[in-house]
Every structure is written in C-alpha cells, then in structure tokens.
Amino acid sequence: MEIIGLDLHKRESQLCRRHPDGRVSDERIPTTRESFTAALGGIAPARILLEASTESEWVAAHLEQFGHAVTVADPNFAPMYATLTRRIKTDKRDARALMDACALGAYRPAYRLSAARRHLRAELAVRDALVHTRTRWIALCRTRVRAVGLRVPSGATHTFGARVAALDLAARAPTLGTELAPLLALLPGVSAAIAAAEARLAALAAADPVITRLATAPSVGVITAAGVVAVLDDVTRFRSAHAVEAYLGLVPREDSSAERRHRGGITKAGNTRARWLLVEAGWRLLRSTAPEAAALRSWGQGVAQRRTKRVAAVALARRLAGILYAMWRDEADYDAARLRRRPPRA
C-alpha cells in the first residue's frame, strides 16, 4: 500500500509518496479539489497523513471519497517530527516527516468534529465576529464623544444611537456628528444581524437535546451551552471531568521536578471561545442571587476569600465544565442536590 505525507498550505501543498516498491517521490500541487483529484484520485487506496489545519477537514473528506485511509494528526505531538532537524525547514522535509510518521505510526490522531458540530461552531464564530464589531464601534463612538467633553449615558445596546442623538452633536460638536454618522448608520444593521444569528442558534439549540439539557445549569445560557457542545462534540471520548477541564485549558500549568513543585495560571489550551464563555458564567455565578446557584456561589465566595475574585471565577468555570460533562454523560438536568462538597485546598 502506498504511504503519503501531505503538508497542507493555503495555496500549494507538498506531497511525499512512498510507493509499494519502496521508491519515494515528491510533488507540489495547488491546494484545490481538482488538483487532489488529478494527483490521488486514480491510484489504489493509500494511507495518507496530514496535519490538522484550516484546510484539513475538507481535504480529508475529499480524499476519503477515493477510498484512501486519511488520518488528520495533532501537530502538537512532537514525536511525529522526530526525523526533522531544527536547522533546515522546508515543505519537502515536513512532508517526508509526515510520511515517515505515517509508516511508523508515530502520530496522534486529531479529533474530527461531526458536520452538525462544525456548523454550530461556525454559527458561533459568526455571532462572535458581529458582536465584537458592534462593541468596537460603540467603544469608538464613546471615546470620540468623551474627547469633546460629553458622555453617552449608559443603556441598552439597541438604544445607543438614540442616546447619541439626544446629545445634539450637530449644535455642540458639528464635526463630531459628521465623523460618527457612518458608524451610527451601520449599527442598526449589525444589531439586526446579531439578532438573526442568535435566532439561528436558538433554533439549533431547540433541536439539540444536549444543548437544552446543559442550559438548565445556573448561569449557563444557550450560547454557553452551544459553545461547550460545539467543542466537545462527543462526550464519550473523555474519561473524566478532569479530562474535559484540561481539554478546555482550565487546569493550572505545572513545572515540577524532584522536590520542587511550581503551579502557575491555567494552561489556556483548547478552544478560546468555550473557555471564555465558561469564565463569564463563573463571574455570573459569583453575582447571582438565584436559589439554584447558591451552592456554587457559596463555594466560589470561599475561594474568593482565600485568593481573589478573578481566581474564583476561573475556579467556578473549571467546576462548571465538570458539572456540564456529568450532566451530558448521565443525560440528567442540573440538580444542585447532587453537587459534591469540595473541601477548601490548603
């Protein structure tokens, strides 16, 4: 069977092929479906190894149509590049290293999300981009208004334009009104796009019982539940709650040797959006007055007294990740009575 290492790039990709007779050949082709079809569509089923990247999913799915055994590898697995030297790096050498790793089995497969979870993640990414855009525009408007000695009153986002108009900038700062006019004209359209994105996410959540179940946890809404589900995808691939916490980058990093032990901040590994959503949920738990959040709030306040509120919010995010894992694993809604007491750490 032919063994192929594929080093993917945005415009061109490098192939390294070990033929059944032991001959090794290199080839550079454009990163397009037509090029992959021409190069690999007519050969016998082969083993192909490629790195996880932006293009890896569609390339892997396209090559699998021809009967090839395609593996998307985790690029953070150092043994996969054991044959490389640090002094010289080329695409040919990278493709050769991938081919050797495929032949030796010296790789760690990366998890490939299902099509439904990829769609959910894309919808969340679009909403995030729209929200960040609106936030930047509003912040810029507030800054320019403050620069002329005025201040925009606080209020809901959808009333921001009306609050700016109430300042009567045309009379008090004529040039400022002209400067801000393009942003103020675009804000309603962005807000409408955000509302439409949230409506699509609500429809996806209503059709997904896992998201609906996770949203029953205190301070966890549809967006947070969808963010966690879109990242984890299949709960059975995690051995424990701690594995989920580590996967989301919510566990402390450690640098220990012999008698020396040093633990730092969280690793921040994994998906940034899911981690950020859980930390925001941790802050909401600290401020919540809801009865169902009392146990978690009390625990978080204990952490805050020993450390700081920021540490407590992250600790609550970590514990909440474990709770969501257990709810998903056991197919059970949130029940505060099932929370185990955790003694304070020394």
Taking each helix axis as running N to C, give the angle between helix 309-330 and helix 272-287, from 0 to 180 degrees, rounded to the nearest 10: 110
3-104 fold? Nucleotidyltransferase; domain 5 (3.30.420)
pLDDT digits (tens, 9 = 90+) for 271-296: 999 999 999 999 999 999 999 999 99
pLDDT digits (tens, 9 = 90+) for 199-218: 999 999 999 999 999 999 99
* Cα–Cα distance, 65 to 178 (Å, whole number): 56
- Inter-residue contact 218 to 296 (CB < 8 Å): yes
The predicted pLDDT at position 342 comes to 61
**Does the pLDDT at position 89 exceed 90?**
no
DSSP annotation of 22 reads S
Token pair of 340 as six digits: 């185990």
Distance from the Cα of residue 256 to its chain's centroid: 29
**Does the pLDDT at position 58 exceed 60?**
yes
Each domain of the chain, given as residue ranges in start order, spans 3-104, 115-207, 211-338
DSSP annotation of 158 reads G
Greatest alpha-carbon pair distance for the chain in Å reads 83
Model pTM score: 0.89
The predicted pLDDT at position 79 comes to 86
C-alpha closest to that of 137 among 193, 180, 195: 180
* Cα–Cα distance, 39 to 97 (Å, whole number): 20
Taking each helix axis as running N to C, give the angle between helix 222-232 and helix 272-287, from 0 to 180 degrees, rounded to the nearest 10: 140
Beta strands in 251-326 (DSSP E): 252-257, 260-266
* pLDDT over 90 percentage in the chain: 84
**Residue recorded with tokens 């640090």:** 86
